[in-house]
Structure 1
Amino acid sequence: MSRSRKASVASQAQGDETTTNRWASLTWEDVDRWAGNRSASRGRNYQRQGRIADLAVTEDGKLLASVMGTERYATTVWFEGKSARSPKIESKCTCPVGFDGCKHAVAVVLAYLDILAEGKEVPAARPDDRRWAKLSAEAAADDDEFGEAPGDEWDDNLDGKTEDELDDGFADEGDEYVERDKRLRRGRSISHASKGLGRQGAGKKPDKRRSRVDWNEKIRAHIREKGREELAEMACTLVNRFPDLRAEFQERIALAEGDVSRLVNQARRQLHTITAEVGWHNYWKGEGHTPDYTQLKRKFERLVDAGHHDEVVKLGEELIRWGIAQIEQSDDEGETATELSSCLPVVVSALARSSRLAPDKILYAIDADLQDEYDVLRDAADAVLNGKWTRADWSIVADRLAARLRKMPSGGDRDEFTRNYKRDRLSNWLLHALVRAGREDELLAVYETEARTTGSYQRLVEHLLHEGRLEDAQRWAREGIEKTQAKWPGIAEALREKLCELARRRKDWGVVAAHAAHDFVEHPSAPGFKELIAAAEKAKCEKQVRLAALKILESGQSPIQPSPERGGQCKIAIAPTWPLPVPDYLGPATESSATARGARGAPHSIPHPHYDVLLEMAIADKRPDDALHWYDKLAHLGRRSAAGVWGGYGHSYYADQVAAAIACSHPARALDIYRRELEANLKEAHISAYENCAAYLRKMRPIMKSVGREDEWTRLLADIRQNYRNRPRFMEILDSLEGRTILQTRTSRRSR
């Protein structure tokens, strides 16, 4: 057969710049970088299942094939650029994914390499092959006749496809489409570039497309050419043909005749109907429903244009109430909220021109915000609240909000949390209104009253700190800790942080260090240790604190211990050598923590060392001897933890970090650690374990080379290949480790 009809079998000479040799030089790492791990895995499955048909190659090395998925897809793959050392692969497919490394493209490449491994010839791709035309048509679909990119169509195609069901469980359903979806935004440039593929032989002329602007001009010109009677007849025809246009004319006529109530009632019925619909989406299947507010918005706009602003404002109140309830029931990612919010600018515009007084307009926006738990109305409310209102307007608003607050229940509710939440939101608006009204002298009374009513001490303390009233801030923070510790410990902890901030302002470094010690005792960690030592240096007691902190880590014994007393009370016992103060407001946290630890069971109530923290510190400080010491201690403690003595991180969690840290100073121990982790992963038969094994082997190789044991590494790898040769995916990963090409791997397997 002639050279134009057949592609010769690849030459294996290194450095040959032919395209065939570029295919032959591909490794699994190249394929993973191009298509991603999941598509590469699925492409392997497709190739093994024999789904590729009619594979052909062009003279310049482009692959063309048919792949059987949900449908029969046309797929082409080619190299971009000239370099053989860093090949860049591109692809185009008629499947929903379409481009940039779908599983069908991967399967085509692997099928081609299999043919090369067999020493067979690949038929030449004909310029008039119909598959080029199909690929070109897919590329052309990226432009519609009006010059708009059909993004929605692409998204729709990505959902609801059942081809994953054909993958026989080799990968999680839908994962490839998720992976491909990240590349869609840059894929159109590839799609446009690939349009030329089909024009090698199809002989199609470029389509003459008009933009939307061009069409608008043509439509205007067409209308202007019509006479009056002809236009009237055309309008009547269109009104009868299109219900939306008929409704438009009916609304215009009703308003012109002064029949406003008819349109208002229509809008109200439509509002109730649309807000009763529940928005939902199943994004995996591409199914769902989003309520459409387009017609309701149009009715609102029609009423506003006709000057009926008050009616729209009243309808807006119903829209907000029922719309928020609808969002609460919907199960989507904000599509329903977006539709609802499209109507709000019309309502805001109507409110601005309505007959309501200025304070009523402000309260309208505040009430909308108070109903909104989803930040749907924030932009609309801000558009009103940021208007040019006078201090007198805001003063009236403040008085009305204060009256509402006095009427709200202040206690005795079964749902105390909800009551406090609602009061806090309302009082926040009251405080804002007082500021806008210039009545700042009334703020403190509100802050203090609400702190004792709802536990909002943090807000009060922040205000006092802002005002520079440090003594008052400290007094209220202490009261807040006492009042909230049992019921709302999160508030109490936030107030302790405020007291620490206050001590830092005063440069009371002993108290600042006491806070750092409190946090470290509660939650020992390497960052906490550094923070404690830094604070202790400023407090001039770094040496004593360091020794105590290290003792906590090494033995679990703290210088600050809860001391049970009669009657179930628990006080704090402080070691005489502890140099830092223990403020009384830090005591309750320590006592409650001790009680909580005891309640969880005996193993956790026994003080235990924190070798994991000491190990992290040794690694960070580049102290390999200490790192190995604490690693061994942690391994021993881990064996005890199996008996329920301790439940922290085990030594295996730190194996990689420790081995890397001691590789130069203790190479033999580093190799032992890597070997142990390697053997543990060899017992598992899944891809992540295979990749872990390759990673450990890769790390072991330079260490073995440095101590003259490189031959041992080679034997180890050969033994693993022999013992696990029945795991083809593992063998492929090991091929990548050794730098073997895919073609070399497949050729060697066939030779066996």
Structure 2
Amino acid sequence: MTSSDARIALSQFRAWAGEVVFKRGQDYELRGRVRELAATPEGGLVAWVHGSERYATRVNLRADQLAVDCTCPYSGTCKHAIAVALAYLNRPDQASPLPIALASDPRLVLLERQAATTVALAAQPAQPDAGPAQESTLHAFLAAYTQAELVALLLDLAQRFPEVRDALAVRQMLANDDADQLEAEVLGRIVAASADPGWRNRWDGDGYEPDYGPVYDGLKLLLNQGHADAVLSLGEHLLEAGINQVEQSRDEGETAAAVAMCLDVVFAALPASSLEPDEQLTWAIDALLRDDYGLCDGARDVLDEPYPPDAWSTVADALLDRLEELPASNGDFHREYQRRRLADFAILAFERAGREAEIIPLCEREARTGGSYQRVVEQLLAAGRSAEAEQWARTGIAATARQYPGIASALREVLRNLREEAGDWAMAAALRAEVFFDGPALPSLRALEAAAERAGVGPEVRAAARHYLETGHPPQPKARSVGGAVIPPWPLPETGIAPAERRHPLQFPQLGLLIELAISEGRPDEVLRWYDQREQARYAAINADIVADAIARAYPERAAAIWQGLAEARIAQTSPAAYEEAALFLRKLRRVWVAQGKAAAWRGLVEQLRATNKRKRRLVETLDALLRE
């Protein structure tokens, strides 16, 4: 299995193994459960994988399919195989070849024995009265027992092994056609599996993962026997217990994945149940509305089934009634979230019922009631009603700017796009100016300048924006003379939108941004001018290393002084990581001084630093390595 083949296979792992198995294999790999990874003679991988037991696992990629052999009891692509493949892909040293496992390797021996046993069992006759010559060793061994001895053997195994006892109990219920008893048994399994939260200690890998395997098996047996309603009834208990358990769990998602796997069986039973089509849809929607943990993704498959429009219409009316019953949010985030999700499903129901004309009126009501302005704007735009969308965007910005600035920002972006599509570059630039003046940054400045150029007022806007960065003075409608330079009048129109409230005042000059701007434009004089004013900016984050890089060609001595100061500051921190950073700065200093013919001075500086800090062993090692380069 070559590295390129493995990477091709990685994109298929989730499909081959399924999400639950893939995540468990990923967890095994991250926790270092894969040991003694080796290559097989035919180009595959083999390793020990430590789980509840130690398993030998072999992985091959054949004809774009993952071939898996593992001594675990799982059939198909198991979590151990996923862990082995991921361990190979994530090796620290990709260039080094793996050791080759010889034919006598105990892992390969175990796997070959298992394969031989599988072939022998597959070759045994299907009929219990087949001739002794065709019977396997195990079949012959069991056939020699009397009925009483077989009963005693099974009872003994059931007493010692809970899995055998459960399997026999389920078969007894099925033989008696006792669905009620089996349903009660599965309910007991749900109660047992959900009793304790899952947990994982990421430091040592210890933890507890609830075992939902018996629940899954029981649900599948019921469904396969045609008891879909019983599965649905159990699904109610499972969903409630699973949500409570996941809320309390502190693991890497294993508990949620196990519950979701069982709920997938429940949703598979839904279309086969005795519920009416609209009731089936409502059951799936209610499950999704209750789920905040991704447990009910299988319900979306139900919603994608070809249900008739009249069923969807009934669901739409019921959802509208529920929206009417919900109290107004009044700024309560949880209530707003509930309304948004409920309205989203109502919109889906309208679409599937062929009642599209009712979607926008619903969205407009919900925008007024629940603040869902983005949704109504998106629906209006999709319907080609851009003028109404713009008006709703403006209303939404005013309503959300203070409490939900992220929503207001998204609506501003809608306005800008609409103005640009209409060719109104002056208003588009004015909207971009609001973003820049609210939170100055290089991307927002570049976007403003580009829009201003399209509007034909690039120089005027550029001068006002940069004057703002230096002084904090906002644009003025009249021309001004500042320090001998004329700041032209602000040429952009008013947007009609109230400026956003700032929680913290800006500090001027905006030294960090001014330096970043000068670097991007290749002006080292300006870089140095603003850097030398850094004492004025208590809160400005200025990366001195980047400044030195920017001025090194024009001002090598200043750059060298910056790097020397940075190196000495890192050395004073007494941290091995800081020593490595100091070495980086000293290398940059060496490049400048060597170009000036001062190589001896650089070596003298490093030796002096070494002598001054000779008690710092790790630093001395780092400096010695630097001197040997």
Q: Same fold (TM over 0.5)?
A: yes
Distance 1:680 1:185 in 2: 34
SS of the equivalent of 1:583 reads coil
1:615-670 CA distance string (max 9 Å, x none): 11121222222222222223x424xx3xxxxx222xxx322112222222221221
Residues 1:138 and 1:737: Cα distance change in structure 2 (over 3 Å): farther
Aligned match of 2:509: 609
Distance 2:434 2:409 in 1: 11
Aligned match of 1:677: 566
8 Å CA contact retained: 1:513, 1:539: yes
Please tell me whether Structure 1 or Structure 2 has the larger radius of gyration of its CA atoms: 1
- Deviation of 1:425 after TM superposition, in Å, equals 0.5
8 Å CA contact retained: 1:348, 1:384: yes
Distance 1:152 1:505 in 2: 51
Distance 2:429 2:153 in 1: 84
Residues 1:481 and 1:514: Cα distance change in structure 2 (over 3 Å): same
Distance 2:358 2:108 in 1: 74
Residues 1:716 and 1:624: Cα distance change in structure 2 (over 3 Å): same
8 Å CA contact retained: 1:99, 1:187: no
Question: CA RMSD, aligned part only?
Answer: 3.5
Distance 1:525 1:537 in 2: 18
Aligned match of 1:216: 118
Letter in 2 for 1:230: Y
Distance 2:154 2:93 in 1: 39
Match of 2:438 among 522, 528, 534: 522
Residues 1:535 and 1:213: Cα distance change in structure 2 (over 3 Å): same
**1:39-438 alignment runs, 5 A limit:** 143=56, 147-148=69-70, 183=91, 190=98, 192-193=99-100, 207=109, 209-210=111-112, 212-219=114-121, 220=124, 221-225=136-140, 230=145, 232=147, 233-234=149-150, 236-242=152-158, 243-378=162-297, 380-410=298-328, 416-438=332-354
Distance 1:707 1:552 in 2: 40
- Deviation of 1:227 after TM superposition, in Å, equals 7.1
SS of the equivalent of 2:573 reads coil
Distance 2:49 2:305 in 1: 52
8 Å CA contact retained: 2:476, 2:489: no
- Deviation of 1:228 after TM superposition, in Å, equals 5.4
Structure 1 gap segments, 5+ residues each: 1-94, 101-135, 157-178, 562-574, 598-603, 642-646, 741-752
Aligned match of 1:623: 523
SS of the equivalent of 2:460 reads helix
Residues 1:361 and 1:213: Cα distance change in structure 2 (over 3 Å): farther
Letter in 1 for 2:579: Y
Deviates more, 1:700-709 or 1:240-249: 240-249
Deviates more, 1:254-263 or 1:662-671: 254-263
- Deviation of 1:546 after TM superposition, in Å, equals 0.9
Residues 1:206 and 1:459: Cα distance change in structure 2 (over 3 Å): closer
Identity between Structure 1 and Structure 2 (%) = 34
Letter in 2 for 1:305: N
Aligned match of 1:44: none
Q: TM-score normalized by structure 2?
A: 0.78
Residues 1:667 and 1:491: Cα distance change in structure 2 (over 3 Å): closer
8 Å CA contact retained: 1:239, 1:245: no
Match of 1:719 among 608, 611, 619: 608
- Deviation of 1:182 after TM superposition, in Å, equals 5.1
Distance 1:548 1:187 in 2: 55
Distance 1:187 1:287 in 2: 32
Distance 2:283 2:624 in 1: 69
Match of 2:536 among 632, 637, 644: 637
Verify: 1:583 aligned to 2:480, yes or no: no
Letter in 2 for 1:383: D
Letter in 1 for 2:495: P
Deviates more, 1:145-154 or 1:656-665: 145-154
Distance 1:251 1:99 in 2: 40
8 Å CA contact retained: 2:49, 2:56: no
Distance 2:619 2:265 in 1: 62
Q: TM-score normalized by structure 1?
A: 0.66
Aligned match of 1:62: none
8 Å CA contact retained: 2:460, 2:488: no
Distance 1:721 1:360 in 2: 79
Residues 1:425 and 1:514: Cα distance change in structure 2 (over 3 Å): same
8 Å CA contact retained: 1:142, 1:188: no
Residues 1:666 and 1:553: Cα distance change in structure 2 (over 3 Å): same
- Deviation of 1:212 after TM superposition, in Å, equals 3.6
8 Å CA contact retained: 1:394, 1:436: yes
Distance 1:406 1:137 in 2: 60
Residues 1:187 and 1:700: Cα distance change in structure 2 (over 3 Å): closer
SS of the equivalent of 2:112 reads coil
Match of 1:648 among 532, 536, 540: 540
Letter in 2 for 1:577: P
- Deviation of 1:732 after TM superposition, in Å, equals 1.6
8 Å CA contact retained: 2:267, 2:302: yes
Distance 1:673 1:713 in 2: 14
Distance 1:351 1:307 in 2: 12
- Deviation of 1:588 after TM superposition, in Å, equals 3.6
- Deviation of 1:359 after TM superposition, in Å, equals 1.4
Letter in 2 for 1:391: P
8 Å CA contact retained: 2:263, 2:295: no
Aligned match of 2:372: 456
Letter in 2 for 1:403: D
SS of the equivalent of 2:207 reads strand
1:77-125 CA distance string (max 9 Å, x none): xxxxxxxxxxxxxxxxxx999789xxxxxxxxxxxxxxxxxxxxxxxxx
- Deviation of 1:439 after TM superposition, in Å, equals 0.7
- Deviation of 1:560 after TM superposition, in Å, equals 6.3
Residues 1:582 and 1:236: Cα distance change in structure 2 (over 3 Å): farther
1:720-750 CA distance string (max 9 Å, x none): 222222222112212322336xxxxxxxxxx
Verify: 1:492 aligned to 2:414, yes or no: no
Aligned match of 2:627: 738
SS of the equivalent of 2:116 reads helix
8 Å CA contact retained: 2:56, 2:111: no
Distance 1:295 1:421 in 2: 35
- Deviation of 1:539 after TM superposition, in Å, equals 0.9
Distance 1:137 1:530 in 2: 56
Residues 1:193 and 1:317: Cα distance change in structure 2 (over 3 Å): same
SS of the equivalent of 2:492 reads coil
1:225-284 CA distance string (max 9 Å, x none): 467573854465134313322332232222332332222222223222322321111121
Distance 2:48 2:199 in 1: 34
- Deviation of 1:674 after TM superposition, in Å, equals 1.4
Aligned match of 1:571: none
Structure 2 gap segments, 5+ residues each: 1-31, 38-46, 59-67, 73-77, 125-135, 478-486
Distance 1:99 1:674 in 2: 46
8 Å CA contact retained: 2:35, 2:48: no
8 Å CA contact retained: 1:457, 1:476: yes
Aligned match of 2:20: none
Letter in 1 for 2:551: I
Aligned length: 543
SS of the equivalent of 2:465 reads helix
- Deviation of 1:142 after TM superposition, in Å, equals 8.1
Letter in 1 for 2:318: R
- Deviation of 1:209 after TM superposition, in Å, equals 5.0
1:390-427 CA distance string (max 9 Å, x none): 22221122122222222222356xx8221121111111
SS of the equivalent of 2:174 reads helix
